[in-house]
Amino acid sequence: MINLANILLYASAEQPVETRSWWDDPTVIYFAIFIGIAIASWAVSYSLKRKFAKYSEEPIRYTGKEVAEKMLHEHGIDDVKVTCIAGQLTDHYNPLTKTVNLSEDVYNKATVAAAAVAAHECGHAVQHQQAYAPLKMRSALVPVVSFSSSIVTWVILAGLLMVNQLGTTLLLVGICLYGAITLFTFITLPVEINASQRAVNWLEESGVVDREKKEMAVSALRSAAYTYVIAALSALATLLYYIMIFMRRRE
């Protein structure tokens, strides 16, 4: 993720003394991008919370649990369980345990917001059933990303602080590790967008919501999708920042 720690890491490393224009300094460029993405992230988060609060007051006939069970049944999926978990916005589909896990508000409430979230998570179950290619790719990358995330900060930190050949090599290794994380965030985009498309289409076709409330579900899920776009752009900006540092090291 893009954050001030990355700027401080580079700033703390020993840099060659030379005169450069501000636009040649990756730290300045990165800081400007950081500010832009931070503002966009706040705006998306605010919009998401506002819309979910609003659409949580729009009643429908089915609870989130009933929506999930109905969607799974109509897609011929009988080996996936719908469970209730603690927390807020903790909803997710687990392909390993074949469970659609819904937060308490989504599981118990009969609102547009609850239906949208429940149907979205079931969209992932449908993807799993139909062997949706991006979902398979994302699942295959999970162990790689888990390993990369656990060591990438330390590898890059060592690479930045060591200004010899070993440091440059470590920085390149860190870039490769972070590249895997960035790839994962971009593969996540079609997975999430496709799940939302499946959700809203089914919600209307099944009669769970009418056309007006379908638009509410679309609006809520679109805001949720923007959070993944921000995450992907943030990861890409951070990766490019590290690459810029690496290229300067090689000059």
Q: Where in the sequence numbering do the catalytic residues fall?
A: 121
Cα–Cα dist 203/77, whole Å: 17
Residue with tokens 């090689």: 250
**Integer angstrom CA distances of residue 237 from 7, 12, 30, 127, 227:** 12, 20, 7, 29, 15
Question: What count of other Cβ atoms lies within 10 Å of the Cβ of residue 78?
Answer: 8
Q: Cβ contacts of residue 207 below 8 Å, gap of 6+?
A: none
Q: What is the DSSP letter of 208?
A: S
Residue type, 57: E
